[in-house]
Structure 1
Amino acid sequence: MAPYTFPDDLLQAQRDWYAAYRELAGDQSSSQTTVLRRRLQRLSVRITTHPYWASAPGSVPAARVALKEAAWSEEVDC
């Protein structure tokens, strides 16, 4: 896999997406369901429309996978 250097704000947005997803999955009361779904939508838009993708080296789909893996590995290491 090609090495990627992701901007901090893009990497943070992916981390925030994972955190919101985990919170939504664990919300048994469903009191925050709408709020969390909207947050996931906003973060998804922020991630997919980030200017980085216009100049990403190599394959953009591969870079998106690498972003997810980088953010996930940081979450797991915490």
Structure 2
Amino acid sequence: MPTLRTTEIDMVQNDEALEINLDILEEKREQAAIHEARSKEKMEKYYNSKVRNTSFKPGDLVYRNNDASHTKDSVKLSPK
């Protein structure tokens, strides 16, 4: 026995609606890709404005961590 829902559905109209939804989905994906690229460009511009270029010449004194000369702490409380 068919239900009201199955008797009232129009398969042609349903297929057309699904195709329209697929087209809209593609447009939304394109818009999202454009928005993502714009956001990444904005972040890159902000980062590049804040970062300072450092260049070293032979003979310059620089700070280095020397973890090899330090004694090992107990493993129980050390970070992983």
The answer, yes or no, to whether TM exceeds 0.5 is no
Higher radius of gyration, 1 or 2: 2
Task: Please state which structure has a larger fraction of its residues in helix.
Answer: 1
Q: Please give the TM-score of this superposition, normalised by the length of structure 1.
A: 0.32
